[in-house]
Amino acid sequence: MRVYPPPRSSYHLFIFLLLLSLFPLSLLARPFVLVLSQDDLKDVQNDDASPLESDSSWDDDDDFGGTHVKSDDELDPGSWRRLFEPSTSPVSPSLDSYYTAVDKMISASTHGDSRLMEESAVEIETAANTEGDPHARSVLGFLYGMGIMRERNKAKNFLNHYFAAEGGNAQSKMALAYTYSRQDMYEKAVKLYAELAEIAVNSFLITKDSPVIEPIRIHNGAEENKEALKKSRGEDDEDFQILEYQAQKGNAGAMYKMGLFYYFGLRGLRRDHSKALMWFLKAVDKGEPRSLELLGEIYARGAGVERNYTKALEWLSLASEHGLYSAYNGMGYLFVKGYGVEKNYTKAKEYFEKAADNDDAGGHYNLGVMYLKGIGVKKDVKIACKCFIVAANAGQPKAFYQLAKMFHTGVGLKKNLPMASALYKLVAERGPWSSLSRWALESYLKGDMGKAFLLYSRMAELGYEIAQSNAAWILDKYGDRSMCMGESGVCIDAERHQRAHSLWWQASEQGNEHAALLIGDAYYYGRGTVRDYDRAAEAYIHAKSQSNAQAMFNLGYMHEHGQGLPFDLHLAKRYYDQALELDPAAKLPVTLALASLWVRKNYADSFLVHIIDSLPEVYPRVEAWVENVIMEEGNATILTLFVCLLTVLYLRERQRRHAVAAPAAAGALQPNEHVVAAAGR
């Protein structure tokens, strides 16, 4: 992600919006940082000549969120949801052939069945080209983009996604927006991301921000991320089972947590609004006040029950009386919309102010909307902007959406399409299509690497950095077990390396330093691509810009040997020193590297330098010899017995020498004894 440097003038006002609260960040991905200066805060006149009036994207009904409550199937048409989360809602007969073909594709990925995969690809292509099904076009675009049973073709990938998006497929819109943003075509990217972010915003809560359900990073570099995976096993998780037992025994806090887990689909659980309602009601009966607010939310949205605004207001009022200030947002929302009550902007503003006065981010956001639109107050874009900044700084995603619109339209902030696109993307990635990550993780935890890889690959095409990283890691870690499908069957090694390389590269573009490091290694060693020291250096420099110690060490090595970078011992030492400063664990390799530098500087072209330079060639041979000869089961046993025999012989010889030495030492003492005896006389 880009970091926009602030101006140097001392009078500028800097506002740092750290989006850490929107997405919990892994050490592998750098934080997105938005820096606003006084130059960004556009001088505006708060009059009726504002662009707000002429831009439909500022429609009142869309800004408080939660207005258009639709099912995920409606928001994400053509989704694979009904294949993973069977629904009782009827399926249009026109989609039967589409879902049958997708089901075959998923099954083929599980079993590595190239014949079935080809059959599904033909059916998808028929539905796309003959029947004009936009959802089949979307999947066909995916097949061409990945090179699955079709020759990889970027043009056909783009065209199929373009027509699918025109036909209303949201996932193709995500894929197109990501493609446009990679090519710096922000005019087109921002339009699509804005539409998708609006869908995501309207699925958010009306009272407070919902927990972030972030895609899980299944690895932490070289190893599996066991801690994160342990917390994602749903009802099979031991901690969840303990919590459920406590809830069944009457623990109010446990009941509330059970309701939260089922309502939001946390800890690897499937969302179940009926179970959530049951646990929240039980928690309220036990005196747990936090459930009151969620019950108000459930009745306002009609989640698992018939929508009832009167009951919603009753629950929210009770919650506010118990000091849950975010409940005032729901109450204000009902009054500003006139849902279950008569519209009353004055009362709505009072409720929003109560929430804001108690440091609730949602309160600041809702006040910002009122001032932006002049709803019950005099329109003031500057005050609105300040409210959104405070809310965004506290992690309110709807505030990110409003700031994105300001950067997009130039209202309140100077027009900045790259920034608008980045902010819209962050919000859009929380849309219903993010369910792909949950299904992929479930498959991975069940050991179904083929299905997990397919789902992560689909999500990677939509621009999710974590999915790109996860898919690449599965390819590198599990090899043939990934069931990777190539152009004519199961991937050969070259196809698998090339696909992993492409996925790592995309992840590195979005700030994944481990990915940039692996790209550098691929070019340096020629893994899956032609060896290219220059491009390896570029990748390491990219990783180094993200403060990666390993990349700095590698750059020092390349400067020391003049590989892809100028031969420069001073720069090599600087990089080695920086690597040690960043990672104290690098002390041993850095010490050895500095010793190598000293030898190279003081004994240039000597025998020692030639030995040092030959180590990279000798080491793999020694390693292979140890692995193939020494570590072979029979040889290892013989070697172990031989070492044991030598140890026994050594100990026997040592014992014998001690036995011989003891009498000699005793004899050597006798003359002294006579002397002592004589002295006694």
pLDDT in tens, 282-328: 999 999 999 999 999 889 888 778 889 999 999 999 999 998 988 99
State residue 665's pLDDT score. 52
Give the 3-state secondary structure of residue 210: coil
Tell me the two tokens of residue 218: 């299944």
- For the chain, what is the mean pLDDT? 81
| DSSP category for residue 94 | G
Give CA–CA dist 158/172, Å, rounded.
Answer: 9
The 3-state secondary structure of 143-190, one letter per residue: HHHHCCCCCCCHHHHHHHHHHHHHCCCHHHHHHHHHHHHHCCCHHHHH
State residue 313's pLDDT score. 92
pLDDT tens track for 111-138: 999 999 999 999 999 999 988 899 999 9
Residues of the chain with CATH 1.25.40.10: 230-432, 447-599
Is it the case that residue 25 has pLDDT exceeding 70? no
Q: At 247, is the pLDDT very low, low, confident or very high (cuts 50, 70, 90)?
A: very high
Residue 474 and residue 457 in contact, taking contact as beta carbons nearer than 8 Å: no
* Total-model pTM: 0.76
Q: At 239, is the pLDDT very low, low, confident or very high (cuts 50, 70, 90)?
A: confident
Is it the case that residue 209 has pLDDT exceeding 60? no
Is it the case that residue 17 has pLDDT exceeding 60? no
| DSSP category for residue 567 | -
Q: At 605, is the pLDDT very low, low, confident or very high (cuts 50, 70, 90)?
A: confident
Count of Cβ atoms closer than 10 Å to residue 623 Cβ: 10
| DSSP category for residue 41 | B
Least confident of 102-116, 173-187, 391-405, 617-631: 617-631
How far is it between the farthest Cα atoms of the chain?
A: 128
The highest-level CATH class for domain 447-599 is mainly alpha
Give CA–CA dist 4/423, Å, rounded.
Answer: 13
Residue 384 and residue 58 in contact, taking contact as beta carbons nearer than 8 Å: no
Count of Cβ atoms closer than 10 Å to residue 669 Cβ: 8
Tell me the two tokens of residue 130: 């003959």
Phi-psi region of 268 (alpha: psi -120 to 50; beta: other; left: phi over 0): left
Out of 245-259, 520-534, 611-625, give the one with best mean pLDDT. Answer: 245-259
State residue 272's pLDDT score. 85
The CATH superfamily of 230-432 is Tetratricopeptide repeat domain (1.25.40.10)
Least confident of 117-126, 484-493, 630-639, 650-659: 630-639
Give CA–CA dist 431/421, Å, rounded.
Answer: 16
Among residues 430, 374, 371, which one has the least CA distance to residue 398?
Answer: 430
Is it the case that residue 676 has pLDDT exceeding 50? no
**What does the pLDDT average to over 187-212?**
79
Q: At 671, is the pLDDT very low, low, confident or very high (cuts 50, 70, 90)?
A: very low
State residue 11's pLDDT score. 29
Q: What is the chain's Cα-based Rg? A: 32
What is the sign, positive or negative, of the torsion defined by CA atoms of 111, 113, 118, 123? Answer: negative
Residue 75 and residue 203 in contact, taking contact as beta carbons nearer than 8 Å: yes
CATH architecture of 72-84+91-203: Alpha Horseshoe (1.25)
Is it the case that residue 41 has pLDDT exceeding 70? no
Residue 451 and residue 443 in contact, taking contact as beta carbons nearer than 8 Å: yes
Query: Rounded to the nearest 5°, which phi and psi values hold at 181?
Result: -65, -35
State residue 181's pLDDT score. 96
Q: At 82, is the pLDDT very low, low, confident or very high (cuts 50, 70, 90)?
A: confident
Report the percent of the chain where pLDDT is more than 70: 76
- Cα dihedral 333, 335, 337, 343, rounded to 10, equals -170
Q: At 643, is the pLDDT very low, low, confident or very high (cuts 50, 70, 90)?
A: low
